[in-house]
């Protein structure tokens, strides 16, 4: 554990928030998990327990360490109580600039003066988020990847005013958690999504133009480029609404037509086909089944011999 950081508050208990709580609790930190809804917090604790069970089953975590880690997580629905003794606060709420503005304005008032304010945003400007506080030197991007307990990368994003000492501390902390940190600067999409999202968008454009079907596109990228998931399956995994929101940040941020989201992606999001979380995107999802079945709406585009 790093000396300067003992208590970490994570705001948001969704997929990213509970994954971040999982790794910090396992790393020995006191974790305060905050959400506006107690039922969401209870579900998140259940998810963390199940994900830790996978580690216990394969022998990378003992039952005793699991129990100790879960014991380090406390849940809160009140922001003031959740942050009052925090050394580091990581915001992992929905990707919505107005919501983040409100959270960071509140954090600036409620968090201890020396606390570092980090955001897990996947594409919103760190400099803009920092501008909602009176401590922009202490605001930084700490972008974890999904699933957080599995993925090694932490993309650390410096806002325009971020203090180099804060970057160094977050870098060391990420390493101490067993992650591999990479520091980048604050431009639209940073690095991860500036490169990932145009690839996903190109896969959707290829499908839209009928160049190939869903399975062909994903198989080519999986087996041809050794990606663990094809780009369409990955888009479903991330959430098509999130992919669209990030592409719009790139499109408006750079003002370049090459980032314009595919019409098929826009249509799917408007129709509520958001990927795994809504039960259907490019594929159909059945709870408890790992089988990949192409959505009926897109199956006619498959090449069948």
Catalytic site residues?
A: 122, 143, 155, 193
Q: Is 150 in the site for ligand CAA (CB under 6 A)?
A: yes
Task: Give the alpha-carbon dihedral of 7, 11, 15, 18, to 10 degrees.
Answer: 30
Alpha carbon distance 16, 67 (integer Å): 21
Size of the site for ligand CAA (CB under 6 A): 16
**Closer CB to ligand CAA, 5 or 92, in the complex:** 92
> What's the Rg (C-alpha) of the chain?
20
The backbone region for 175, taken as left when phi is positive above 0, alpha when psi lies in -120 to 50, beta otherwise, is alpha
**Closer CB to ligand CAA, 136 or 149, in the complex:** 149
Taking CB atoms, the residue at the shortest distance from ligand CAA is 122
What is the smallest separation between the CB atom of 110 and ligand CAA, expressed in angstroms? Answer: 27
Alpha carbon distance 194, 187 (integer Å): 9
- Stretch binding ligand CAA (CB under 6 A), from 79-87, 132-140, 157-165, 228-236: 228-236
Q: Is 149 in the site for ligand CAA (CB under 6 A)?
A: yes
Distances (CA, A) of 104 to 58, 210, 246: 39, 44, 20
Q: Is 245 in the site for ligand CAA (CB under 6 A)?
A: no
Q: Applying CB under 6 A, which of residues 51, 137, 167, 208 lies at the interface with ligand CAA?
A: 51
- Stretch binding ligand CAA (CB under 6 A), from 27-35, 38-46, 83-91, 145-153: 145-153
**Cβ-contact 165, 173 below 8 angstroms:** no
Q: Is 158 in the site for ligand CAA (CB under 6 A)?
A: no
Q: Applying CB under 6 A, which of residues 229, 264, 292, 299 lies at the interface with ligand CAA?
A: 229
Q: Is 152 in the site for ligand CAA (CB under 6 A)?
A: no
Count how many Cα atoms sit within 13 Å of the Cα of residue 176 in the half-sphere of its side chain.
Answer: 17
Q: Applying CB under 6 A, which of residues 13, 75, 122, 125 lies at the interface with ligand CAA?
A: 122
Q: In 3-state terms, what secondary structure has residue 138?
A: helix
Q: Is 54 in the site for ligand CAA (CB under 6 A)?
A: yes
Entry field: residues in the chain: 305
Alpha carbon distance 19, 47 (integer Å): 9
Cα–chain-centroid distance for residue 296? 29
Task: Tell the residue number behind the tokens 């975590």, with chain if given.
Answer: 61
Q: Is 14 exposed, middle or buried (0-12, 13-18, 19+ CB in 10 A)?
A: middle
What is the smallest separation between the CB atom of 203 and ligand CAA, expressed in angstroms? Answer: 14
Residue 20 tokens read as: 């971040």
Q: Is 238 in the site for ligand CAA (CB under 6 A)?
A: yes
Start-to-end CA span in the chain (Å): 57
Q: Applying CB under 6 A, which of residues 80, 99, 151, 223 lies at the interface with ligand CAA?
A: 151
Pattern 166-205, binding to ligand CAA, x per CB under 6 A? --------------------------xx------------
Q: By the criterion CB under 6 A, which residues form the site for ligand CAA?
A: 51, 54, 58, 122, 145-147, 149-151, 192-193, 228-229, 234, 238
């Amino acid at each position: 554990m790093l000396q300067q950081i003992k208590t970490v508050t994570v705001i948001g208990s969704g997929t990213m928030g509970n994954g971040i709580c999982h790794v910090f609790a396992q790393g020995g930190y006191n974790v305060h998990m905050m959400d506006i809804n107690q039922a969401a917090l209870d579900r998140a604790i259940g998810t963390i327990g199940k994900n830790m069970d996978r580690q216990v089953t394969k022998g990378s975590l003992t039952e005793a360490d699991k129990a100790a880690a879960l014991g380090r997580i406390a849940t809160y629905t009140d922001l003031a109580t959740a942050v009052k003794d925090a050394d580091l606060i990581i915001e992992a709420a929905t990707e919505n600039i107005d919501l983040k503005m409100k959270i960071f304005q509140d954090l600036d008032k409620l968090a201890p003066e020396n606390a570092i304010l980090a955001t897990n945003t996947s594409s919103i400007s760190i400099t803009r988020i920092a501008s909602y506080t009176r401590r922009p030197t202490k605001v930084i991007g700490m972008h974890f990847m999904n699933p957080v307990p599995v993925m090694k990368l932490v993309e650390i994003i410096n806002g325009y005013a971020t203090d180099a000492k804060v970057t160094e501390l977050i870098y060391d902390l990420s390493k101490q958690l067993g992650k591999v940190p990479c520091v980048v600067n604050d431009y639209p999409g940073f690095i991860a999504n500036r490169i990932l999202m145009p690839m996903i968008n190109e896969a959707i454009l290829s499908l839209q133009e009928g160049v190939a079907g869903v399975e062909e596109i994903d198989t080519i990228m999986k087996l041809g480029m050794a990606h663990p998931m094809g780009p369409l399956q990955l888009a479903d995994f991330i959430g098509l609404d999130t992919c669209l929101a990030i592409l719009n940040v790139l499109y408006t941020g750079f003002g370049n037509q090459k980032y314009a989201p595919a019409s098929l992606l826009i249509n799917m999001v408007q129709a509520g086909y958001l990927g795994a979380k809504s039960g259907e995107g490019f594929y159909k999802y059945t709870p408890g089944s790992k089988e990949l079945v192409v959505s009926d709406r897109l199956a006619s585009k498959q090449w069948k011999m």
